[in-house]
Amino acid sequence: MGGGCIAPVYRCELPGGARIVAKQPSPGRTLECEAWMLGYLRRHTALPVPAVLAATPDLLLLEYIDSGDALDPRSEAHLAELLAALHAIPGPHFGFERDTLIGPLDQPNPRTSRWRDFFCDHRLLHRARAAYEAGRLPAHLMGRIEALAGRLERWIEEPPRPALIHGDCWSGNVLVKAGRIVGLIDPAIHWAHPEIELAFGTLFGPFGEAFFRRYAEQGTLAPGFFEARRDLYNLYPLLVHVQLFGGGYVNSVARTLERFGV
């Protein structure tokens, strides 16, 4: 199946015609965290995620979800309803009860009382340093990110409370059928400011006008999100892609830093 850049993914047909999905980890990796996150979402939320049928260190078997349609205004609106309900689940702190993953990369989630501190230390700086140590992020950009980290109070305010987010909600992880969202896959869950999820959804899709119109009906999006904070929060997924792929994503990081005057 498509989307197997982290682990090979197969659709399997069982005797009798039933279908399931099988994933095998790349060498040196495990899918234990993915299985745990999917199980957490199944137990604690109404988000449509595939059921975990079996999980071992070498194999993850998932419920097969029939999908394949493109996002349209109806499915975008449905996605907004699902995420608004997810973001309404309050958390005890920023971070999570365990570290998680985004794609194949570690995602530290230490208990943190302030959102700005969490985003600065455990998202922006952590990912920038990992990309720098991997030889993907040039030293001069690392210095500029550190300078930006010292000025985050200019743009980021504390949300009313931590909220649960999917964490990797881009178009490739959204399964659509007949105008409805039938599955959300490959989560990177943690307690966060919902705006970081909303920002990421505009970077590689799928959040468009229909999504934000319906999301706004479910809650409040503070002024300044589209003007500044969206680009600031998207430094995190851009740095994820710098660490994984380098290339043009480095230029995207540089342009964002210029946007914020560093």
121: in domain: yes
Residues 171 and 44 in one domain: no
Residue 168 is a catalytic residue:
yes
68: in domain: no
252: in domain: yes
Residues 138 and 113 in one domain: yes
pTM reported for the whole predicted model: 0.95
- Name every residue whose Cβ is closer than 8 Å to that of residue 13 and which is 6 or more positions away in sequence: 19
Residues 29 and 80 in one domain: no
Checking 171-177 for CB contacts under 8 A at 24+ apart, the result is: 171/71, 171/204, 171/205, 171/206, 172/3, 172/204, 174/71, 174/79, 174/206, 175/65, 175/67, 175/68, 176/67, 176/68, 176/69, 176/70, 176/71, 176/72, 176/75, 177/66, 177/67, 177/68, 177/69
Enclosing domain of residue 13: 9-63
Give the pLDDT confidence score for residue 4 in this predicted structure. 59
135: in domain: yes
Diameter over CA atoms, the chain: 61
Three-class secondary structure of residue 177 per DSSP: strand
Tokens 């993907």 sit at which residue?
Answer: 136
Rounded CA-CA distance 149/58 in Å is 39
Rounded CA-CA distance 142/4 in Å is 30
Give the pLDDT confidence score for residue 220 in this predicted structure. 79
Residues 121 and 201 in one domain: yes
CB 225 within 8 A of CB 93: no
1: in domain: no
Residues 255 and 174 in one domain: yes
216: in domain: yes
* Catalytic site residue from 106, 117, 168, 186: 168
3: in domain: no
Give the pLDDT confidence score for residue 187 in this predicted structure. 97
Q: How many domains, the chain?
A: 2
Residues 99 and 207 in one domain: yes
Residues 119 and 43 in one domain: no
Of 36, 63, 90, the position where a domain reaches its end is: 63
**CATH number of 98's domain:** 3.90.1200.10
Residues 135 and 33 in one domain: no
- 12 exposure class (CB count in 10 Å sphere: 0-12, 13-18, 19+): exposed
Residues 31 and 130 in one domain: no
State whether the Cα torsion 100-106-112-118 is positive or negative.
Answer: negative
Rounded CA-CA distance 229/223 in Å is 10
Residues 173 and 242 in one domain: yes
Q: What share of the chain is helix, strand, coil (3-state, %, to 5)?
A: 45, 15, 40
Side-chain half-sphere exposure of 94, counting CA atoms within 13 A: 21
- Name every residue whose Cβ is closer than 8 Å to that of residue 203 and which is 6 or more positions away in sequence: 170, 234, 237, 238
Residues 90 and 13 in one domain: no
pLDDT in tens, the chain (262 residues): 876 567 889 999 999 999 999 999 887 788 999 999 999 999 999 999 999 999 998 899 999 999 999 999 999 999 999 999 999 999 999 999 999 999 999 999 999 999 999 999 999 999 999 999 999 999 999 999 999 999 999 999 999 999 999 999 999 999 999 999 999 999 999 999 999 999 999 998 779 999 999 999 987 789 999 999 999 999 999 999 999 999 999 999 999 999 999 9
Give the pLDDT confidence score for residue 219 in this predicted structure. 76
4: in domain: no
Tokens 């279908």 sit at which residue?
Answer: 19
